[in-house]
Amino acid sequence: MFTLANKKSGLARGALGLALLLMATVAPANDQSRCAVDDRDREVCLHNAAQRIATLSPGATELTYAAGAGNQVVAVVSYSDYPPEAKQVASVGSHTRIDLEKLVGLAPDLVIGWVTGNPAEQLETLEALGMPVFYIEPRDMDGVASAIERLARLAGTEAAGQAVADNFRTTMNDLEERYRDREPVPTFYQVWDEPLMSVNDQHLIGQVVEICGGKNVFGEQARLVPRIDDEAVLAANPEAIIAGGMGEENRHWLTHWEQYSNLKAVAEDNLFFVPPSLIQRPTPRLMEGTQLLCEKLDIARQKRERS
C-alpha cells in the first residue's frame, strides 16, 4: 500500500486523494456486483451479497452451508438434514412441489434451484416475481467444488468457501492418486432395490467408483440411473456389491444378494454398506463417502491376494 509518510509531496498526496475519491465513486458498481454463472449457463448477478438464501434441494442446502453461508439460509426443503443446523430452518415443502406462498413470505433474495429436480414451472413463477434463481447441478467432482465457490461468491463468503472447495479438490485428487491405478475391482453399486437401480460411469457415484479403482459393471449403460434386474447383476457377476439402503443403518438390501451363492461378491463376502447420504449427494461429504468406498474395494482386493 502507499505510504503517506512523505510529507514533502503534498501534491502527490492531493493527487492520491483525488484518485482515491474518483475510485470510490467509480468502483462501487464493480465491487458490489456479484456475478456467477449457474449450471444452466446463465449469469446471475446480485447487487449485494445474498443475505436471505432459499435452498430448494437437500444437496443445495449442504453446499450452501459448506460455502460458509449457513447463517444466511432462510428457507430449505424437506430432507435438508445436514448439517444439523439446517433442520431448524423453515421448510417450504418438498423439492418436487414447493409451497410458493411460504417461500415468497420469507422474502429470499437468492433462490438455489436444482436443474432436474425442481419443478420448472414453479421456478419460472419465482423468476417472474423478480427473484434471482441460481441453478446448480454438479455432474463431476470439479462441479462440486465450483458450485461451492460460486455460491460463496454470491453469498459474500468467498474466504470460507474457497477453503472448503480447495480442500475438496485436494482430497479427491489424493484419493484418486492413491487408488485409481490399483487392480480394478468389478463393482456393482445399488441405488435402490425396488425397482433395482444402479448408476453408469457419468453419474457422480460412477465417478467415485472409478476414483477408487473399481470397474462399474453397469458403467456402459446409456441412462444415468438404469433400471435393471437380478439377472443382469448375475450376468455381470461383480466382485463387490455396494449398497446404500433406506436410511442410514439399513443393510437388508445386501442380504437379498446372499441367496445367490454363485455371485463372486457373495462367495468372497464382499457385500459392503456405505451410508447413502455420504455418496448420493453432490456435497463435500463425498470425501468421506469416497474414502469409505475406496477402503471397501481395498478389502476386496486383499481378499483376492489371500485366496
Provide the binding-site residues for another protein, judged by CB under 8 A: 78, 91-94, 96-102, 104-105, 107, 116-117, 119-122, 124-125, 128-129, 197, 223-225
How far CA 254 is from CA of 8, 113, 189, 291, in Å, comes to 81, 34, 11, 20
Cβ distance to another protein smaller for residue 104 or 299: 104
Nearest distance from residue 229's CB to another protein, in Å?
Answer: 13
Q: Which residues contact 25 (CB under 8 A, 6 or more apart)?
A: none
Q: Which grid cell sits at 103?
A: 417461500
Cβ distance to another protein smaller for residue 186 or 226: 226
Nearest distance from residue 59's CB to another protein, in Å?
Answer: 12
Nearest distance from residue 37's CB to another protein, in Å?
Answer: 19
H or E element in which residue 233 lies: helix 230-236
Phi, psi dihedrals of residue 242, rounded to the nearest 5°: -120, 130
Cβ distance to another protein smaller for residue 59 or 68: 59
Nearest distance from residue 19's CB to another protein, in Å?
Answer: 41
Cβ distance to another protein smaller for residue 6 or 78: 78
DSSP calls for 44-68: EEESS--SSEEE-SHHHHHHHIIII
Contact 99, 113 (CB under 8 A): no
Cβ distance to another protein smaller for residue 38 or 176: 38
Nearest distance from residue 204's CB to another protein, in Å?
Answer: 13
For residue 291, give the amino acid letter.
Q
For residues 260 and 257, give the distance between their C-alpha atoms in angstroms, rounded to a whole number.
Answer: 6
For residues 295 and 274, give the distance between their C-alpha atoms in angstroms, rounded to a whole number.
Answer: 11
Nearest distance from residue 240's CB to another protein, in Å?
Answer: 24
Cβ distance to another protein smaller for residue 141 or 191: 191
Cis amide linkage into residue 195, ω under 30° from 0:
yes
Cβ distance to another protein smaller for residue 94 or 237: 94
Cβ distance to another protein smaller for residue 190 or 270: 190
Contact 58, 73 (CB under 8 A): no
Contact 224, 202 (CB under 8 A): yes
Nearest distance from residue 118's CB to another protein, in Å?
Answer: 9
Residue 230 in 3-state DSSP? helix
Nearest distance from residue 132's CB to another protein, in Å?
Answer: 15
Q: What is the CA angle 103-104-109, rounded to 5?
A: 90
For residues 157 and 112, give the distance between their C-alpha atoms in angstroms, rounded to a whole number.
Answer: 16
